[in-house]
Chains A and B, each alone.
Chain A
Amino acid sequence: DAKTTQPPSMDCAEGRAANLPCNHSTISGNEYVYWYRQIHSQGPQYIIHGLKNNETNEMASLIITEDRKSSTLILPHATLRDTAVYYCIVKTGANSKLTFGKGITLSVRP
């Protein structure tokens, strides 16, 4: 699985968009970008994933650059409940084994 790099932390104001970056410069053509988040004292929760096209669901949007070497998770209207650690994971779809890094801690301020 390709290595990912995320800044350790960021914050944003409630109601504003939160843009969480992830670098994955060694990504292979068959590897997907997955995002999970972990709210304090809970298990991780799947958010979204994509291969090369931008994706959107009820939780977030995922923007993948054309060269696929980086991506951004967008929470369009952050709330206090979005305060969590967000993990960017790059892997093939061949199996479900997840390798988590340290993630990025998002703090949403009132």
Chain B
Amino acid sequence: EAGVAQSPRYKIIEKRQSVAFWCNPISGHATLYWYQQILGQGPKLLIQFQNNGVVDDSQLPKDRFSAERLKGVDSTLKIQPAKLEDSAVYLCASSLGDRVETQYFGPGTRLLVL
């Protein structure tokens, strides 16, 4: 079974530029998550989708971050404009339903904002 795919794996941009990350979840997984992991900290949930609807986006900085999951499969996370403090690893995860133990993570996209 293929895992959660993310691209790109690495991205370097300058502050105030825009960037987008892509995630392809495990086939058949209805729930998709985006997490932000700053160096030295645990991952923080940014947004959770159930199919193509948003379940929780309470920690998403909506003035600069946006995410969509068209057709309930792939998802993109965008930052516009980027700030220095957005430097982090962005992890995508997916799960069959709403059970913690079925949540699988992708390898992440490492973003550096200069």
Contacts and interface: CB of A to CB of B under 8 A. Distances in A.
Contact of A44 (B44, B98, B101, B105): B105
* Main SS at interface, chain B: mixed
Interface string A78-98: 000000010101010101111
Contacts of B100: 32, 34, 46, 49, 89, 91, 93, 96, 98
**Interface SS majority for chain A:** loop
Interface in A28-74: 32, 34, 41-46, 49
Given A97-B48, A97-B56, A43 B107 contact: yes
Contacts of B44: 99-100
Contacts of A44: 43, 91, 105
B45 interface: yes
Given A43-B93, A97-B56, A102 B42 contact: yes
B40 interface: yes
A32 B99 CA distance: 12
B4 interface: yes
A87 B31 CA distance: 22
Given A46-B101, A46-B103, A49-B100, A96 B95 contact: yes
B91 A43 contact: yes
Given A41-B107, A43-B106, A43-B108, A102 B99 contact: no
Most chain A CB within 10 A, of B43, B95, B97, is at B43
Contacts of A32: 100
A103 B48 contact: no
A7 interface: no
Nearest to B99: A96
Interface in B34-64: 40-45, 48, 55-56
Contacts of B40: 102
A98 B41 contact: no
A109 B21 CA distance: 36
Given A46-B100, A98-B43, A102-B41, 14 more contacts: A32-B100, A34-B100, A49-B101, A87-B42, A93-B99, A95-B55, A95-B98, A96-B97, A96-B103, A97-B48, A98-B45, A100-B41, A101-B42, A103-B42
